[in-house]
Amino acid sequence: MISLHPSLQPVYAEVLHRNPGEMEFHQAVHEVLESLTPVVRRRPEYVEASIIERICEPERQIIFRVPWVDDQGVVRINRGFRVEFNSALGPYKGGLRFHPSVYLGIVKFLGFEQIFKNALTGMPIGGGKGGSDFDPKGRSDREIMRFCQSFMTELYRHLGEYTDVPAGDTGVGGREIGYLFGQYKRITNRYESGVLTGKGVTWGGSLARTEATGYGTVFFVDQMLRARGSAFDGKRVVVSGSGNVAIYAVQKAYQLGGTVVAVSDSGGYVVEESGIDFELLREVKEVRRGRIKEYAEERGSTARYIEDGSIWDVPCDIALPCATQNELDVDGARALVGNGVQVVGEGANMPTTPGAVDLLRSAGVLFAPGKAANAGGVATSALEMQQNASRDRWSFEYTEERLADIMAGIHERCLTTAEEYGVPGDYVAGANISGFCQVADAMLAMGVI
């Protein structure tokens, strides 16, 4: 771990003190503060105005009860969250996560990262995140609907196209956004398309939003390779997870000439030397909502399913962690380096532990932080908001082109900022500094609020 600049140490101590037990939030804050030493030296006005302290404290945190009735008639209680972190650049924007591991520390880490990610996209969106400890696994469609309706019955009063605009994240996809939007519309009596993104493409959703995060991650990694005279073409790729981000990272990796040899879920991973079959993967995971084990069973002898073990043991040139936070640890990083990995691109949020990031970077592996590499999803959400505001609808090709341009722009911005602040080639510092300064300048301009 890099030690913090003396003026940042009390800021971090205060974050620890005020947010006890929220380890993921501490980790996310520390990672950004580590990058800010050259900023503190060059921009003392940020310190004088306590910008960093203010950025670490959410503007608003909402916690609420979500009661619902399961298919057996049993009343269930979950906890709902929305952390409205920062609105200096636009309405709060960020996904909703439904997963049993969700608690305030997870929502805050995600909301905090979202501030800088959203700034990096260059779109007018602030940072927020929400979700619930509700576990959608094994729940019927009707249970999911009743849960979403109850969740929105409280959340709606905090939302609005100019206030707070949620979207999907782990456990929240098109189906859930549909139920959430329906309940919002019913309660408010407003067809306010721009209040949620990730909507169905026949009722206000943007084409290419479903694909955007995975595609964007691959576009970003391709940019990194191209900047070094290489390309995605011909590379062996390992993608962890098999949800929304992973599935479309797999598809775009193929389209750019790579071969994806392994994917996973929380039960295990599958290795297939001849290449994972994208269509079957999408069918099993997205359409049937099945397990990766079923994919392996259907593929027969070409695929191996491994229940206990680490996907990072599979040799590859490019590793794309697309499942969850802290899934790639020091042991995983060591295995990747031992097998000659060239690039690690974070499709998930904070999937690489700080120790693993250090190990990868000191071994000369190109490392793309999630804030930059997975920003394609939220950027395309902003494109959806743009289409909703103008009551327009763009083609898939046009939207994907915009996404590719945005990812190229973020890549350029990371490199230029890293160079400017004396840390050339450091994508982590480039992303953190660039996103931070944009938010900080807006906050300075708006006074102490």
Q: Is 62 helix (H, G, I), strand (E, B) or coil?
A: strand
Could you list the active site residues? 129
Do the beta carbons of residue 115 and residue 90 sit within 8 Å? no
Give the β-pairing of 318-321 and 60-69: unpaired
381 binds ligand 2IT (CB under 6 A): yes
Q: Which residues pair with 172 in a beta bridge?
A: 169
Q: Which residues pair with 75 in a beta bridge?
A: 69
33 binds, among ligand 2IT, ligand NDP, none (CB under 5 to 8 A by kind): none
Exactly one of 90, 94, 130, 216 binds ligand 2IT (CB under 6 A); which one?
Answer: 94
Q: How many CA atoms lie within 13 A of 296 on its CB side?
A: 21
Q: What is the DSSP letter of 243?
A: S
Instruction: Give the interface with ligand NDP as residue ranges (CB under 6 A).
Output: 95, 168-171, 213, 241-246, 265-267, 322-324, 327, 347-349, 374, 377
Q: What is the nearest approach in angstroms of ligand 2IT to the Cβ of residue 231?
A: 26
324 binds ligand 2IT (CB under 6 A): no
Distance CA 42, CA 211 (A): 39
Distance CA 409, CA 136 (A): 36
Exactly one of 377, 394, 438, 440 binds ligand 2IT (CB under 6 A); which one?
Answer: 377
Q: What is the nearest approach in angstroms of ligand 2IT to the Cβ of residue 28?
A: 12
Q: Is 291 helix (H, G, I), strand (E, B) or coil?
A: coil
95 binds ligand 2IT (CB under 6 A): yes
First vs last Cα of the chain: how many Å apart?
33
Query: Of all residues in this chain, which one has the CB nearest to ligand 2IT in the complex?
Result: 95
Provide CB contacts within 8 A for 306, sequence distance 6+: 268, 269, 270, 271
Site for ligand 2IT in 116-175 (CB under 6 A): 117, 167, 169
324 binds, among ligand NDP, ligand 2IT, none (CB under 5 to 8 A by kind): ligand NDP
Q: Which residues pair with 130 in a beta bridge?
A: 82, 96
Tell me which H or E stretch contains 115: helix 104-120
Exactly one of 149, 223, 342, 349 binds ligand 2IT (CB under 6 A); which one?
Answer: 349
Q: What is the DSSP letter of 100?
A: T
Q: Which is nearer to ligand 2IT, 332 or 377 (CB)?
A: 377
194 binds ligand 2IT (CB under 6 A): no
Q: Which is nearer to ligand NDP, 249 or 440 (CB)?
A: 249
265 binds, among ligand NDP, ligand 2IT, none (CB under 5 to 8 A by kind): ligand NDP
332 binds, among ligand 2IT, ligand NDP, none (CB under 5 to 8 A by kind): none
Q: How many CA atoms lie within 13 A of 326 on its CB side?
A: 11
317 binds ligand 2IT (CB under 6 A): no
Q: Is 240 helix (H, G, I), strand (E, B) or coil?
A: strand
Window contacting ligand 2IT (CB under 6 A); options: 45-53, 91-99, 281-289, 317-325: 91-99
217 binds ligand 2IT (CB under 6 A): no
Q: Where do contacts with ligand 2IT occur on this chain (CB under 6 A)?
A: 93-95, 114, 117, 167, 169, 197, 349, 377-378, 381
